[in-house]
Structure 1
Amino acid sequence: MQSRRQPDRHARTGADAVTGDPMTGRLLDGRYRIGPRIARGGMASVYEATDIRLDRTVAVKVMHPGLGDDEEFAARFVREARAAARLSHPNVVAVYDQGEDAGTAYLAMELVPGHTLRDVIRTESPMAPARALTLLEPILSALATAHRAGLIHRDVKPENVLIATDPSTGASQVKVADFGLAKAVSTDTQHTATSGVLIGTVSYLAPELVLDGRADTRADVYAAGVMLYELLTGTKPHEGESPIQVAYKHVHEDVPPPSESVPGIPAYVDALVARATARDQHLRPADAGVLLHQLRRVSHALADGVLDDPELTADLAPVLLHPDTGETVAVEVPPRDRHDTAPDPFDGAVIATMLAPAAEETHERTSLIPRSAAAPPAPPARSPGSPSRPPRRPRRSRRGPILLVLVLLLVAAAGFGAYWFGWARYTPTPGVIGLGKAAAIEKIEAAGLEAEMGERAYSETVPAGRVIDTDPGAGSRVLDGGTVTVVLSLGKERYDVPRTKGMSEDQAQDALLNTHLSFGHSVGKYSETVAEGTVLGSDPKAGTTLRPDSAVDLVVSKGPRPIHVRDWTDKDADKAQAALEAKGLTVDRSTEEYSDTVPEGDVISQSPTTGTLYRGDSVRLVVSRGPELVEIPGGLVASGVDDATAKLEALGFQVEVRKNDHYIGVGYVYSVDPGSGSMAPKGSTVTLSIL
């Protein structure tokens, strides 16, 4: 599981206490020490944790409180553990353990530090086709392994693709996470709906999931194709004002060729996207393994610098295979308007197949009619001897006109009935889109219908208070006196960025989610006054109005800025003080000492000498006063050499005795250097000249 941020594990104790998250610090099942929360979803939260038994860092997914009482939610947790445990693949996030502790259901899984494919799309897309295929290949490899094991993922999306960087090699490693929706193909009827609720992210839902809630491996293939389109273009193929509109487009609109948005993409790459995202699931590759093979063919063509390969393009173009025999039914898909809102239920080839048996049956019936019945029998030949009789005039029958009148009456009655029951009783719904509430109601009631107000909805194009939709829609026929539900606009759906300053990072993320906004990234910033882990603000700022699900970055305090201290020993004390104070440190240089080795004004010692401090911390400098000076005493001249030597040595001087040029051996001092009364460094040498 993804690690979104990597805080100091030892420095989080106090910060987590502020968040009030009851899980943080808890020892789950006597084994997992829960740390900071690193992700949050609608069903569970993910925490960084320490497995104290094996001494390793893991990610623990914990079901939200209360959901454990729902057997279906609990079953999904168990299913995720069992599904992932069946998979052994380097591109699948490993699940280590599953259990329950005092009503808390959890999964222990591999911790993947890094980022998600969604972050890559935000920063790199649109990207070169070769780069996009490189990112998609390990995803398909992981899904292919799952499909071979009889599992379908059912929630393939960029947020469930984690990307970590190997610190030793620097290479990226892609892993597919969250098999919580996975189902065993062999043990399920391939449903992807639970209690009538569609599961999965709507932007990546295959059309068959929207129509009847059934999924097989080709649903994962469709989602992978949508991700490939998003990597190539930087946008999703289908977008709308609501999830329902997006789902509708998945059913009624083809995914456009990526080259429409990013010119220059080879046609065979467009064909690969079209093959993977075909609305008819029979046109898609059977599973991720087949799509992986096709992707590698395209990757080789790109690596060879091939700009156009008609044969490869034609080979990748969607083909319809017979569901029983596997033979090709239609090599070419009949052209259809990509934005067709009411597509034919069958294409031309299928209709031709359906009609063929009828024609053959008609031919067979015609051939079975006896020849004698095909034409009236010839009248019998009259014998020559028979007498001639005048032909009898046929008697006119009255049944014909009566039957004709009855048929006409029945036709007229049937026509009137069809007109009345199929047309006359119905009134077309008037068009009221864009009208105000009162005007819309008046127009509907003027048509002989009743107006009923439905639940309001947001709209990017229709102002608040005006009609954005009716049920039935404009032009639809409704029984006289029927009801038309009117939906009024709430205006554009916008939300203000909440004030997050002073919150913990987890609290700020919850505030964004509760405001229908999404969390983007954490941006660290040093602060001398705000404790580490506390939110300083957001980008965009609080109060900014945004679309729903817009990403908001949080500016989080990193605490005081660390200051690196250098050693100023034997350097000028004034320069040292100026440099340290410029960094915000306090300098104490009240101590001065004599030094025979350090010049006056330089630093004798410093405390601390090196390391990291913070603004306002103190540095103590001991400054040199230079060597200690002592006065040469008077009365040394004409005194005995031994007496003069004793006095000088008592003052700390070194004494050197020399005989002068007039030496006569009496042993009296003739002169002193330096002279009496002068100042000389303590410990320096004084020369005595004697007679």
Structure 2
Amino acid sequence: MVGQVLDGRYRVDARIAVGGMATVYRALDTRLDRVLALKVMHPALSADAVFVDRFIREAKSVARLAHPNVVQVFDQGADGSYVYLAMEYIAGCTLRDVLRERGALQPRAALDILEPVLAALGAAHRAGFVHRDMKPENVLIGDDGRVKVADFGLVRSVDTVTSTTGAVLGTVSYLAPEQMEHPAAADARVDVYACGVVLYEMLTGDRPHDGDSPAVVLYKHLHDDVPPPSAVVPGLAYPIDELVASATARNPDVRPYDAVALLAHARETRAALSPDQLDAMPPQALAAERGTADDRTSVIPRSLTVRQPPAVPGDEPRDGYHRTSRLESPAPPPPAPRRARGRRAPRGPLVIVAAVLLVLGCGAGVWYINSGQFTQVPPLLGKTEAQARDRLEQAGLDTGAVGRAYSDTVKRGTVISSDPGTGARIRQNDSVKLVISSGPRTVAVPALQGYPLAKARTELKNSGLQPGMVTREFSDDVTRGSVVSSDPGDGTKVRSGSAVALVVSKGSPVDVPDVSGESPADARAALEESGLRVRIDSARVNSEFDAGQVARQSPAEGGQAAEGDTVTLTLSKGPEMIEVPDVVGAGASDATARLEAAGFSVEEDRGLLGLFGDTVKKQSVKGGKTAPKGSTITITIR
């Protein structure tokens, strides 16, 4: 297709990539003089209505996502057998190119890529869409460093019920287990799983599950957990392992419920890592220059329940998790040298008493600090309230006040935080306060009917919701520009931050009068009397009407428009004059066929004598002359 111009507008300059459904080209929009990417469906698929529908659905879905990390769709159309999308062109490369060139990435670089990807998917999820085909090939990295998500070709509404007969969409290595078992029930968490696999691949340079065939890989995704990246990259920080494990849990109920929740977890992970941990160079890195030893690695924190090895004299505590308090009885000081001075009062009993008191005091301190008087707050985050109470009881602690708070990242009914926090030193029998998640904050959709669109959008934002797609329809009851209804409807409980679609009134419908064949002045007067505006198109067309009269109108006569809408009039440049065929001497049926084929209507004049004849003796316009196209030619038959 290189060198062709699609739809009289898009000049194809070079091929960029080929996929299963389409080929992507670099093209020039000759109308706006800008470079863009043209995604053209393979012609063999354009005859399949299902594929065409999916292709067009991509355009409509992405067009609703005005997000800086989503590749924007500018236009959609067809030119013959070519169905295409005109999209934003990103000069750069894909994440697959980066991984092929560099192998594994440092944690900082992996998070720098992951976070904008999750921001883009989060916008899609909150708008009610799932990508379903996240992989490194669909992550574009511009020359300016911008990260964008592309290829929403498999996108569908979260609430859409598909008629897929077992077919699984997406790339095998990044499919969530539920996508294989119940494809139609897949929700935003399949994108969360795929992002976890992509993160693993960025950190290690390889996919978590491999096999000789796609079936083997599918089986491993169904039955094996994604291993921690630290098993492949020694020294990788534990919070990174936790982030990957959370995103790739085989049970979707354990994963963050959408990309927004995973983004919050990713940012918490970044905040928990030191600069050295973020910049640790993985041994799988191919092109990056590695640092030396200690400044590029970090030790994975061990569990609080693991006993520490005996302290080496002079060593400092390894980290905040493993500090210990060791008090030892001081060795008795060396005896003071005797001096030959004058006689002094005997001090033996006092020295003995002081030494005994010192030993007893130190012993009591050691017992008080290191015995059962103190303990540590066990890990409680993510546990149910009942589980948290049991753990506190096992640690010899009481459960204090239990509060509740909304959380977009922590599952309803589980612990968000504790006071004191995990690992804090606390006396036995003291109490620990808990904060339990109430799940995402839900709000009721406000009543918006009759509100002007701008005010309705403000009300939604004040209620913690986002204005969604706006459609317009006629309404006799609601004034033009005001809200007719919302979806979800008034009073519906939805998650805070959800998008609400609005239907806005176009006002009462107005019947468009027929002004064809009238002069522009008379046509304008008739339309304006009906409450409509008039625009006269500069182009003119041939028609049955005289030059300068109205040839056609849009909307057409009998259609409906809202009061104040514009009706476009196209004026006639007169009828098209065409040559009349000579049919004298021909049979009646043959003459009629030839005249109609030339664009004329035919009327027969048989008279009394023509009842028994079948030959054309005369025609109203002689052969070789011109007449208006569509006019009537009378043939006399004798």
Shorter chain as denominator, the TM-score bin is 0.3 to 0.5
Considering only CA atoms, is the larger Rg found in Structure 1 or Structure 2?
1
Q: TM-score, normalised by structure 2?
A: 0.44
Q: TM-score, normalised by structure 1?
A: 0.41
